Amino acid sequence: MALTDKAILEVKNLSTHFFTDEGVVKAVDDVSFSLHKGEIMGIVGESGSGKSVTNLSIINLIQSPPGKIVAGEVFYNDENILKMNEKKLRQIRGAKIAMIFQDPMTSLNPFLRISTQMIETIQLHQKLSKKDARKRAIEMLTMAGIPAAEERINSYPHQFSGGMCQRVMIAMGLSCNPEILIADEPTSALDVTIQAQILDIMKELTQKFGAAVILITHSLGVVAGMCDTIYVMYAGRIVERGFTEDIFEDPKHPYTKGLINSVPRLDKLGTERLFSIPGQPPNVIDLPPCCPFFPRCEQAMEICKTKYPNEIDFGNGHAASCWKERNDG
């Protein structure tokens, strides 16, 4: 896709640390990216890579202590979110920047009906009467694929399946026409068939309402057919970024290559073992100033063990941080 010149969200040199008895956890370390209107961005990486903390930091939801945003700026329509007071933040969250949290079964209040949770949010941000807010909630539930929405809106969360709860969360997220929707692992607790349905609904509704999307996931397979751009995170940093087609056609970082190779392919079923990246993600407490992927990298060189590589620009917005690519280039 051709991205518009003006970004609606700009994250600049964002760093979020957690101060623990064992040491400083650099969960997010000098992360920068831009999100444009209508763009669907995927942030990909293993558990613990910093994806969720990055997006919680964007809307200033880091619990302190032990967490703290120690550096960086987050501009939404030229206003720095990290400098906003709590009143201004409440006006932004939900209305302008909405978030679908990872587990819908725990994100919905089990003691309140779906109607109460949706209507309250719509009334708060859209300034509608209770009757109009209820009508809007039913309309959004119907769009999200909830059958008999007029009746089901009176149900409690435990009366829905995981897939239906996720549809409710999507309906809630889009009910106030946000400019940005952050979806944190929206399909992680669902079976494969329901995953596809949820992703289709998200893409259809976000296009209908013109929202930009940040999709957080551990699977490149999930973002392949949905996202315009991909940012690959490892140990709190973005190690590769670019348009989806460029990332899949010509991945540069060994970690990105490993993630792509670990996705099952129908044309290779039964012919070879499924690839897995050796080793485990690093402990991000007091990481040394080197490439954190080198213990798992088959192409690691001596310099990888002593210094973190600067980002290399390959053109068309495609860039990666890798010493081997720098030497080969």
Q: Which two tokens stand for residue 7?
A: 């970004």
Q: What H or E segment, with its residue span, contains residue 31?
A: strand 24-36
* Residue 5 pLDDT greater than 70, yes or no: no
Enumerate the β-bridge partners of residue 16.
Answer: 28, 69
Predicted pLDDT at 227 = 92
Q: What is the C-alpha to C-alpha distance for residues 128 and 106, in angstroms, rounded to an integer?
A: 27
Residue 267 has pLDDT above 80, yes or no: no
Given a contact cutoff of 8 angstroms between Cβ atoms, the answer to whether 319 and 240 are in contact is: yes
Q: To which H or E segment does residue 199 belong?
A: helix 192-209
Q: Are 300 and 294 in contact (CB under 8 A)?
A: yes
- Range list for CATH 3.40.50.300 in the chain: 7-96+179-283
Q: What is the mean pLDDT of residues 159-175?
A: 86
Contacts of 155 (CB under 8 A, 6+ apart): 113, 114
In this model, does residue 238 exceed pLDDT 80?
yes
Q: Does residue 257 carry a pLDDT above 70?
A: yes
Residue 201 is predicted with a pLDDT of 80
Find the mean pLDDT for residues 47-66: 90
* Greatest mean pLDDT among 31-45, 153-167, 268-282, 295-309: 31-45
**In degrees rounded to 5, what are phi and psi of residue 180?**
-130, 130
Q: Specify whether domain 7-96+179-283 bears CATH 3.40.50.720.
A: no
Helix, strand, coil percentages for the chain (3-state, nearest 5): 35, 25, 40
Of the candidate ranges 64-78, 180-194, 208-222, 267-281, the one whose mean pLDDT is the lowest: 267-281
- Give me the pLDDT at residue 56, please: 92
pLDDT at site 326: 65
Q: Which secondary structure element, helix H or strand E, spans residue 15, and what is its range?
A: strand 7-19
Query: Residue 168 contacts by C-beta under 8 Å, 6 or more apart in sequence?
Result: 104, 108, 114, 118, 141, 144, 146, 157, 160
pLDDT at residue 237, as a whole number: 94
d(CA 263, CA 11): 29
Which two structure tokens, joined as six digits, stand for 177? 């026409």
Instruction: Say what the alpha-carbon torsion angle 53, 56, 60, 66 is, to the nearest 10 degrees.
Output: -40
Distinct helix (H) and strand (E) counts, the chain: 12, 12
